Structure 1
Amino acid sequence: MILGVDVGGTNIDIVAFEKDFSHVATYPTRDYVAKLDKLLNELVERYQAKAVGIGFAGWIRRGKIIKAPNIKLNDFKLKLDVPYVLDNDANCFALYASHVLGFKNLIGITIGTGIGSGIVVDGKVYRGEGLAGEIGHWFVGGNEICTCGGRGHLECYFGGWSFKKRSLNAIELVESGRIYELEDFEKLCICVANAVTLLDPEAVVFGGRIGSSLNERTLKERIYRYLMSEFRPEIKTLNDPLAVAKGACLMVMK
């Protein structure tokens, strides 16, 4: 038995995995992040888990969290009674997307509170020196201040916290189709196209509360606008709100 945990900017999702995945619980991050280790130790005992995989919405280098733009890092601590693996949440998503969709080379992009991305090459997560794939913090122009402290990043214009800051409702934007009319959607598509040109993956897979709700056809048409004809990756959405937590389980088994 393995527990998988997704510590996102808004929610903490927990799954258990033995032969199949099962949803354990979902908690608001702001209320539970400071007592996550206590909660997980209780669940480890209850489920007799042998290990825990944790996907965290932050920048992780050599097993240490060095920045968490959308989570109060001072509240986060881990003292678990079993071995655990800690990795970036988008890396966990990308690994699960590779596993469930069968692509050995892909870019996984999560769009929820912020924007994360993970890279899978030959079936393995590529981390570089630890921070590879932070597409949400690519500079796209302007002087807007990002939650990471930088300016003009993609996240400043597209994603949950950016929409909320501008009094935009992400769900309404997606359901009405107005999200595709935003100039900020073009910024997203340009960044994705640039990442495709750099990495030449088989597929780009979108997930997260906002990302998984986007229309595949529209994403493909708009991303392809900025690609040379030699680059034609599959563009997919993975509508599984527990994908990061499931990917965290897979991290333990790698």
Structure 2
Amino acid sequence: MNIGIDLGGTKIQVGIEHEGKIIHKTKALLKEKDNLQSTLDQVIKFIEPLTAYDVDGIGIGVPSVVDVKEGIVYNVTNIPSWTKVALKDILEKEFNLPVFVNNDVNCFAIGEYKFGMGRNYSNMVGMSIGTGLGSGIIIEGKLYAGVNCGAGEIGLIPYLEHNIEYYASGNFFSAEYQTTALDAFTAAKNGDKEALAQWNTFGKHFGAAVQVVMYTYDPQAIVIGGSVANAYPFFEEAMRATFSNYIYPESVKKLKIHLTKNADIALLGAAALVDLSIKHTSKVL
């Protein structure tokens, strides 16, 4: 059993992975994000009760680039006090357990590959759509994170007048329509024509993001997660329509696109970091 932690820009979730499921799960909003010690104390407080169980280690996913070997995180998204944090050392000294740190979307991809919709594929990409857009990459059964743990940041690629993330994440609705993805989703469910048109436009942009993944990594499958994925029925058709422009139509026919089905998949992936690292291999299984 391993402890998994999913640290987001607004909340923290912790739990223990046991036989492919998360037990003893707790979550809360992250407080006092301008104060490094306060946020670290909150993380430690959440982990502490779980160390009473027979766990082998701690895995944590964070929305940032990571020095995976040293466990140092840099410039964590939406946590201004976390510019450079030696998270591995801090938590290992606190709990006397091995600690492993990685990007949060990488953890999502690992979780899907090992426990979720990506189990049948050796080459897959997990795309997480929330306030931003990130990707985790599995190539030949191994996590590919890049030299600085920054591989998969397709949302930051320049696109139109901004970047892909501007148009293909929850940010699109606040930036272009002065609403939220959640409100647009609720309105679309109620048949609001304006909201449905907004999701159609979003789908075209997200289709462009998927094409970037296809041209770059040519995966067998893409698994889509994140809060905005709940609206998939409202943007899927527009997304798939963009594939008619893809230069390799046979690749489009072979590509499988799945939605995540497990709300705990990022926690499961974070917990799996322990086994990955203890075995001194980048293989997910």
SS in 1 for 2:77: coil
The aligned residue for residue 29 of structure 1 is 30
Alignment of 1:205-244 (within 5 A): 205-215=223-233, 217-218=236-237, 221-228=240-247, 229-232=249-252, 233-244=255-266
SS in 1 for 2:222: strand
Q: Distance in 2 between matches of 1:34 and 1:54?
A: 13
User: Which of 49, 55, 71 in structure 2 is aligned with 1:49?
Assistant: 55
Ranges in structure 2 where 5+ consecutive residues have no aligned partner: 33-37, 189-195, 277-285
SS in 2 for 1:109: strand
- CA shift digits 1:146-188 (9 cap, x unpaired): xxxxxx2222233234534553121232340444223x44222
The aligned residue for residue 98 of structure 1 is 113
User: Which of 187, 200, 206 in structure 2 is aligned with 1:181?
Assistant: 200
- CA shift digits 1:182-208 (9 cap, x unpaired): 3x4422211211220221100111101
The two structures, once aligned, show a CA RMSD in angstroms of 2.5
How high is the sequence identity, in percent, across the aligned residues?
A: 25
Change (3 A) 1:69 1:225: farther
- CA shift digits 1:182-237 (9 cap, x unpaired): 3x442221121122022110011110111244138536623523423021211111
SS in 2 for 1:225: helix
Change (3 A) 1:2 1:156: same
- Report which stretch shifted further, 73-82 or 124-133: 73-82
SS in 2 for 1:173: helix
4+ aligned runs moved over 6 Å, structure 1: none
Structure having the higher helix fraction is: 2
TM-score with structure 1 length normalisation? 0.84
- Report which stretch shifted further, 163-172 or 51-60: 163-172
| One-letter amino acid of the counterpart of residue 180, structure 2 | N
2:136 equivalent to 1:118:
yes
Change (3 A) 1:91 1:203: same
Ranges in structure 1 where 5+ consecutive residues have no aligned partner: 143-151
Change (3 A) 1:52 1:192: same
Change (3 A) 1:13 1:226: farther
- CA shift digits 1:94-113 (9 cap, x unpaired): 11111222221111111112
Q: Distance in 2 between matches of 1:252 and 1:39?
A: 20
| One-letter amino acid of the counterpart of residue 125, structure 2 | I
SS in 1 for 2:128: strand
| One-letter amino acid of the counterpart of residue 153, structure 1 | N
TM-score with structure 2 length normalisation? 0.76
2:150 equivalent to 1:136:
no
2:6 equivalent to 1:3:
no
Change (3 A) 1:221 1:30: same
Q: Distance in 2 between matches of 1:162 and 1:35?
A: 34
Q: Distance in 1 between matches of 2:231 and 2:27?
A: 20
The aligned residue for residue 178 of structure 2 is 167
Q: Distance in 1 between matches of 2:226 and 2:216?
A: 23
- Report which stretch shifted further, 18-27 or 52-61: 18-27
| One-letter amino acid of the counterpart of residue 15, structure 1 | G
The aligned residue for residue 61 of structure 1 is 67
The aligned residue for residue 72 of structure 1 is 80
Q: Distance in 2 between matches of 1:181 and 1:69?
A: 28
Q: What displacement does 1:134 show? A: 0.3
The aligned residue for residue 198 of structure 1 is 216
- Report which stretch shifted further, 210-219 or 196-205: 210-219
Q: Distance in 2 between matches of 1:219 and 1:122?
A: 30
Question: Contact 1:174–1:214 at 8 Å: present in 2 too?
Answer: no
| One-letter amino acid of the counterpart of residue 218, structure 1 | E
Change (3 A) 1:162 1:217: closer
